[in-house]
Structure 1
Amino acid sequence: MPAPRLRIRAIELYERPVRFVKPFRFGAVTVEAAPQSFVRALVSVEGRGEAWGATAEMMMPKWFDKRPDQTPADTVEGLRRSLRAAREGYLADNRLDTAFGHHVAFTPTQEPKLAAAYGPAQIDKAVLDGLLRVLGVGFFDGMRANVAGLDARLTPDLSGFDLDGFLGGLTPLPAVELRHTVGLLDSPESVRALLARQSLRWFKIKLGGDVAADLARLTAIAAVLEEAAPGYRATLDGNEQYAGAEQLALLLERLERDPALAAFRRALLCIEQPIAREAALAQPLGAVAERIPFIIDESDGDYDAFPNARAMGYRGVSSKSCKGLYKAILNRARCASWGAPLFLSAEDLTCQAGLSVQQDTALVALLGLGHAERNGHQYGEGFGTPDEANAFLAAHPGFYARDPDGSVRLATDDGRLLTAPLSTPGFARAAEPAWASLTPIQTA
């Protein structure tokens, strides 16, 4: 059955500040606060009716755009420009088309590519939410039926691949295990204290780009994990801090030679984006790629990135809603088409409680990714108002829990997030943000 066609009638952009409860250092930047964007889109579905869809995503400074001449504030403003440009482009397209067709019709021109993709990625999520709400179906059932109309126009390497069959064969996971982020400012003792409160077995550890310092820190963290989380698994995230393959080879050589890190090496699954995004797609990894899987994250600025990275020796790419849910789904299809050892890994950009973490977790579950980095609840304040928190708790029991102090938080005590509470008509949401508390993003 053809995917339903729709028109996008209106798009509204908002934001609110999020103060971090502790500093988050990744790569060369330390973040203590950042705005979260909110998008509403009114869609009119041919012959079915209309509804507002919504989404939210952090506007993290110095991640989408790490150019040295850009201040943190400059990079956040760049994300606002991306949202404005996408809003203008999507509203200018008054045709009846599928949700994915509207995505295809908009070509971002902003630089860098990762920042350019931010705006359409958010609008796509809001449009999809509106479509699903009109149809009265949830995200899992809707995407398995391809109601968005995904095809291979942007991924010609998938021409001839049975995309509908692939989507229909996906089996959403009942739960997604949390992969806990250990930021560059998080001490080994803070990890020990966390493990005394929560049951976790997956970890993602940030690297700083200095081999000796990184290994010393890994040794201390590994000692805690081996004592407090036996059987753990881990990934490393370079956040573009390593110069190239030679430095990575040195890191791995010393890691593999150190008896204190032998168990950690056995637990290590992959290394994420160690090299700067442009260089990663231009410089082959060479022999070091045979020693451990490497994946791209910040390099993933468009639909060509994963095939280009594959040619350089990378085996995987991250899934992040902030980079585009359609790209994540099509990259997962590429993994199915290309076969092992290619894979998709679920990562996080401080997804906050509410729309952001719910929709990204639903995407991860749909794609069958058993564990996902989840760090927004570690660093951010969560909901904007108590009434908003109570509404989401009531709408998604089991996904959230109430602390003894009355605050509402993600239900993470057993180290996983249940996905049944996200099986509601629309894109994994049955509650509204406190729209009146948000600040409109100026569009003219």
Structure 2
Amino acid sequence: MTMDRSVGDPVTAPGVRIVEIDAFERDISLRLPFRFGAATLERATQAFLRVRVEDEEGKSAIGGAAEMMVPKWFDKNPALTPAQNVDQLRASIRAAAAASLEASEPTTLFTAARLNELETVRRLPGNPLAAGFGPSLIARAALDAYCRLRGLSFFDAVRRNLVGVGGPMLPGDIDAAAASAVLAGLRPAGSISARHTIGLLDPITESDIENPVDDGLPQSLEAVIERYGNHWFKIKLSGTVDADVDRLARIAAVLDRLPDYRVTVDGNEQFGAAEQLGALLSRIDSISRLARLRAAIAFVEQPFSREITMQTPLGELAAQLPFLIDESDDGDEAFARARKLGYTGVSVKTCKGIYRSLIKAIRIRTGGVPGLFLSGEDLTCQAGLAVQQDLALVSLLGLSHVERNGHHYVAGMQGAPHAEKARFAAAHPDLYEQGADGPLLSIRGGRIDIGSLTAIGYASRALPDFEAMEPLSIG
């Protein structure tokens, strides 16, 4: 197999086969409770995958991926407990692993990932967002392994289309040659702005802190700004108009001290109707002390539950602000459906699949419709593989800012052995700074330096200590 002949040509992109998949878990305690919507997270489990790929010459390499198994995001059905939510994600990993290992013929990474997602969703019907969790991890780990096998960075593999975006697995409205041209034109940056999440339980000022956490890291919004210098923020809303207005006023009193800032607001699926959201926006418009914050809003994220979003046109709201779907983005055609309702933005998350993110970017760049946009939204990505792979993806897609919250709610690489922490800190000195118990995500002047993510592999010179984790049975 040769490599150069496949540059920009999905038809001749290298074929690989996944020959081994191992899954692991690592439990994590949050330093601060994180409330989003109706759920409050205090503990969680991070899933890790180790995948071995083999090329057509029999050469092989391993790669990894990681993601938090966050309850009450992939499925907010109140009849399910948080433990049942996590079991859904474990089931997705198992189903995706079984389907991947059943494939016997080498194929491109793109085709393998797309087929795996389709098959896993078929085997686990009812919630494609949860079902897609396992396939997203396998796709990332397989790409990491391929890059290590070929001595390539993630950026080079995608830009040269060695992943094979094209063929019958490419949606019919996208031309394969145009897709390769878009990928070739992507230009990752050396740094990106961190958009700080202001959770519903987060103290706004130092005087709001009721339960101090003595770990040297900031708790209040005031302290976050002082330490990290953020100028982009994401504000979680509760859906209760009076409470949201009061909290926004307290947030604005802090943010207005900055010479310049931008915010996004996340509805967390908490608004029951367009009229309810419209009432909140009208209240904001009528309050003078919210004038700067209102002018700083870049977009509104997922205001309605996924059950009603696709039946709820935005109407006049779409003329007031840009709107973005997140939880309702559960398949290739979701954004097209949402656009008919007035939405112009869609989220990018590694947990929803790197190739789906690439397809979104290709559609936006080739569709000829002005005003459409992507936005990077966090799922408490943890230091190590998870945050590095997510940062690499959003940077490659040309995003100038990304929501980051994992570093705020979890202190560093919690649960990792000392040697693993040291490997990641040494491999990515621009990305991490040394904390009391190991590497912490480094944010200076509101920005994250990510130049070291150009390393061979998918954005990481290091791999976790898989043997120090709890095995997750996939057999």
TM-score of the aligned structures, taking structure 1 as reference length: 0.97
1:150 aligns with 2:179: no
Count of residues paired in the alignment: 442
How do 1:399-410 and structure 2 match up within 5 A? 399-403=431-435, 405=436, 407-410=438-441
1:139 aligns with 2:154: yes
Note if contact 2:178-2:366 (Cα within 8 Å) is conserved in structure 1.
no
More off after superposition, 377-386 vs 357-366: 377-386
Alpha-carbon separation, structure 2, partners of 1:270 and 1:48: 49
2:425 is aligned to 393
Shift of 1:381: 3.5
1:27 aligns with 2:58: no
How do 1:361-400 and structure 2 match up within 5 A? 361-383=391-413, 384-400=416-432
Alpha-carbon separation, structure 2, partners of 1:212 and 1:112: 33
Shift of 1:356: 0.2
How do 1:392-431 and structure 2 match up within 5 A? 392-403=424-435, 405=436, 407-431=438-462
Which letter maps to 1:174?
Answer: G
Deviations 1:299-343 (A, max 9, x none): 111111111111111101000001111111111111112332110
Of 70, 73, 85, 1:63 maps to 73
Which letter maps to 1:385?
Answer: P
How do 1:304-323 and structure 2 match up within 5 A? 304-323=333-352
Alpha-carbon separation, structure 1, partners of 2:437 and 2:86: 32
1:47 is aligned to 57
1:211 aligns with 2:241: yes
Note if contact 2:188-2:397 (Cα within 8 Å) is conserved in structure 1.
yes
Shift of 1:382: 2.9
Distance 1:160 1:4, change over 3 A: closer
1:440 aligns with 2:471: yes
1:187 aligns with 2:217: no
Alpha-carbon separation, structure 1, partners of 2:242 and 2:323: 20
Shift of 1:150: 1.1
Deviations 1:363-421 (A, max 9, x none): 01100000000000111233222221111011111111113x35311111332111211
2:268 is aligned to 239
1:164 is aligned to 180
Shift of 1:161: 6.5
1:72 is aligned to 82
Deviations 1:88-125 (A, max 9, x none): 00111111100011112222132311101111001000
Alpha-carbon separation, structure 1, partners of 2:61 and 2:280: 52
Alpha-carbon separation, structure 1, partners of 2:203 and 2:170: 43
Shift of 1:242: 0.6
1:105 is aligned to 115
Alpha-carbon separation, structure 2, partners of 1:38 and 1:348: 17
Note if contact 1:316-1:344 (Cα within 8 Å) is conserved in structure 2.
yes
Note if contact 2:194-2:403 (Cα within 8 Å) is conserved in structure 1.
yes
Alpha-carbon separation, structure 2, partners of 1:285 and 1:329: 26
More off after superposition, 157-166 vs 362-371: 157-166
Note if contact 1:19-1:381 (Cα within 8 Å) is conserved in structure 2.
no
2:132 match: secondary structure: helix
2:190 is aligned to 174
1:220 is aligned to 250
Alpha-carbon separation, structure 1, partners of 2:143 and 2:18: 11
Which letter maps to 2:445?
Answer: D
Moved beyond 6 Å, runs of 4+: none
1:43 match: secondary structure: strand
Shift of 1:249: 1.2
1:248 is aligned to 277
Distance 1:99 1:248, change over 3 A: same
Alpha-carbon separation, structure 1, partners of 2:61 and 2:404: 30
Shift of 1:27: 0.3
1:205 match: secondary structure: strand
Which letter maps to 1:84?
Answer: R
More off after superposition, 338-347 vs 119-128: 338-347
Which letter maps to 1:75?
Answer: N
1:402 match: secondary structure: strand
Which letter maps to 2:238?
Answer: G
Alpha-carbon separation, structure 2, partners of 1:251 and 1:161: 45
1:348 aligns with 2:396: no
2:337 match: secondary structure: helix
Which letter maps to 2:20?
Answer: A
Which letter maps to 2:160?
Answer: A
Q: Supply the RMSD in Å over aligned alpha carbons.
A: 1.3
Note if contact 1:48-1:134 (Cα within 8 Å) is conserved in structure 2.
no
Which letter maps to 1:206?
Answer: K
Note if contact 2:53-2:62 (Cα within 8 Å) is conserved in structure 1.
yes
Sequence identity percentage: 44
Note if contact 2:325-2:345 (Cα within 8 Å) is conserved in structure 1.
yes
More off after superposition, 86-95 vs 280-289: 280-289
Alpha-carbon separation, structure 2, partners of 1:151 and 1:70: 38
Shift of 1:154: 4.4
1:290 is aligned to 319
More off after superposition, 98-107 vs 200-209: 98-107
1:157 match: secondary structure: coil
